[in-house]
Amino acid sequence: NGSTQNVFFRHSLNKLMKRLPERHFLRIHRSHVVNLRQVAGLEKHGKGTHLRLHSFDQTLPVSRHRLSHLRPRLENALTRGAG
């Protein structure tokens, strides 16, 4: 439906990631998992990179380590329509 929501999960994000479709979800930081279909873009913030989501006012930090995994996935999602 295009809405953004927070989900609270009482287990580790590693366990959550095992339950989510790998094609659409990616861990971008030790405390954030995002739906790639909701990504509006990347922004530089000082020395770091943040991710902007559709319909969400705040940006989320992307760890330097995970940025190398995020960029190709975003490019792939954009060319395939992430659907």
pLDDT in tens, 23-54: 999 999 999 999 999 999 999 989 999 999 99
Query: Which SS3 state, helix, strand or coil, does residue 78 take?
Result: helix
The pTM (predicted TM-score) of the whole model is: 0.76
Higher-pLDDT residue of 83 and 64 is 64
Band (81; pLDDT cuts 50, 70, 90)? low
Q: Per the structure block, which two tokens stand in for 38? A: 């909701």
Query: What is the chain's mean pLDDT, rounded?
Result: 86
Return the percentage of the chain with pLDDT > 70, whole number. Answer: 86
H helices, E strands: number in the chain: 2, 5
Query: Which SS3 state, helix, strand or coil, does residue 74 take?
Result: helix
